[in-house]
Structure 1
């Protein structure tokens, strides 16, 4: 293990470039990986979280070992998203800026394949690509991986979770057996283990974080409120943090669109990132976010994969993800480069159990926060504005021609009146909005009353309990259905996020879920003729009480059609 980059053995051109970038001491994954890759052709597995410096860990040795006189592709780097592809390319270009004759080419979907083909023809010693576009170029014989020395699988767990298993298998089968394979992942899942067993030979394994735990310099806070108050919490958090620069994670595309639209309509510097955007629209949003022209980016987990921004102050979980690993990935986007970060969860009054689960699995400790009230928010905004005014640079030459008229207009005012008008002009909006603001925090007593979940729930129109219907759907894990995607399907079909959804059971070939009875007909009718990833959807009212028993083995349960 090395203590400094200077003792790594990297060539001088690379050391000079990374020194200019401010690289001094390697991160743990870099300290263990770089010397190994410089001195060994053995396959390698690196287990480390997002933001730990994996790109430099595999990228610096790849640059060092590249023969710049040979224009053929020597290293192929595969990653899950276009954003990460471009980020890796950008980083490698910075590290190699003093290496003459070296060419790094990114290939990804959503951009002109002809342009990428031209770039490959000019010679590309290192190619960074997404699996789909890389395989397309291989089939066209434009990307030639048959003689590569190194194959890097970055964020391998994400590529598999996004459905690139078949593409990866096809690419790996087109690469030489004697190459060195490097696999980097946050987790070591069964599918990752399958790849290592099938395509890797006696790999060396380095684990920086043995468990999928969250970063130590990230604080975790949850705010417990009623579901209807989630958006109010988000607004108050943005208002009490005038310099917020963060990502808000939502479950579904529709929710992402809705929240971003509300924020923009309410005057916040926000925008959305989701799967319905064209590549040009995604590029525009990410350009503005990286340049801090946007303060808040509202995104789904899938759309946010590959975003690499180091200075995020906040990550806000508008909904907790169903997968704890997803929470770790989300929270790991803040608190980077030695800085402090804040991961916030806005939870429903009956989600206390989920907080405990995340704490246990991710190895974090949540603090219960108090949603700020109007007085606290206005005070914070006022002080932030005063600080901004006092720190503003004054250009005497530019404002001098106007000063005489300004003095004349303000002369009747006393110093005290001037300050009052000055503050009121800026803050009347906040003062009016928050003057009668209510306390939206859920007390422990309310939480205890509701801890039994659906059995304690009231209807929105009165004091009775909500009646649930149990439905069968002909989709399961085989069709890549999970609770998040099922909830998204329900919300999109009903065009609402207000539906009460009860227990969800995802099986291999089909699933069960509960929904409030008065929405059953609307949901069933709305799904008629629809498809899920190309598979026709069938939803029926189920008579079965449980998925087990006589339906064991995933046999189709008895159902009756809803009239």
Structure 2
């Protein structure tokens, strides 16, 4: 057994990796291997099985990914490396990291598979061919049961965070998956702890494994003040923008989970008046360095980044680290917030926590042995006061640094003209107020109050249910014939939007579609995000219907034409948001009607009027008698 508690002075070039992998490592910002990387990479390159006792955040993803990627045949379009993780968040994170390391390996494809994503999306990727699968045990087993995942060419398998999979009850699925893989595969098992069930798995499925144990580093810097915000998913962006307005900072790193999130969040902040740049693993080394240089030089103050992209990032002026997406483990949290509080300066770390993530918050506090204090989202009054102070400062600087004689004369002349026109209530103060009003239209000084926080409930308290006045109706493009049940709708909305069940109103499931009532103040961004989610193999394509009727209609009746907000456009969906089945039925009826009209069959002759009608009736009666 190899135990490591101190850094070894080796470089990645000393570990036996290929030039393509070394180039990717350098571009990702890695300078030297971590303890677990230095110990595990040579073992896995030799083809031996491995048991690694190390926390996430110690660099173990690179420790197994780099050597196992070296054995993959990129020309073979079949899964050759399978990584099992306990959560979809970790699956996405690991898949992104592997994609970063494999960027110079031609035609290598990485696919994350997890529940909550449409099965059809994963099936399309599998049919095209992928070499690396990163997935949760439940979804991987589902593919094996359906026969849609062929592991006959598998060369390597990794159990990541095995003890967490045990805690979540996935061990049976893990054993079933291991039994479906070739016996001659190479296996790596990583676990922070080694309970008896994990040892039993190792004894049964690993062949003469090497053992590596890495001492955990979980101490946080004393100069960093740590706080958290309890916030629901649909209020997350507004909570962040309010913090940016009120919290004084020099430079800020905002951590998100995926590469696409870096770009999306940067665009959303820029639309709200904050200059922000994305930093992710897909950037070239030159582009990454330009972004870091701009941060160092003060040309940009906000960077949106992933864990991989922030490796090796050391900028002294970073005063704040914001965990917009909570990290998957305590050590990642420690690594993230360690980017501030440098050179003896005080740093600020802020963590966004949704209700379903409270367990991770407690785990971080327990592991770091430090409490994280709760902070409140700035109120509308605080935002307004901050804007007033900024305006006053701007006015004072303008008065001090500029010759305003021309503008003073302009104001006096305008007031005189208004008096001559009979507007005797106008004076210089009124004109100044009007100018401030016009100047602040995009950033009003009076900000409405909104409770953006996820309120913690004491024992026995019930959450406030969604009232009819607060609700709006939404249409979902999935129904009973697709296998939809109420629990699927609630689960998807809770996971994708971070809404508690009490904020999900009446759900009606029809054959081809469903309706659900949600809070009226949901942001467009969140509705668009929901519209792209998949349930029962269908994309939701959320459309707005309207509020409950207040005109005496039945309770829960939802009037109004649907307004497209998420997923496919109205034009792509068809007339008035019809489903494909509805479009087909409508087209068939129209074609049939045209055919009858053309052939004359089924068409009625014009009705005769007056005497002509009576004559015709008499003729018919005579014909019957005859």
Larger Rg belongs to: 2
TM-score, structure 2 normalization: 0.44
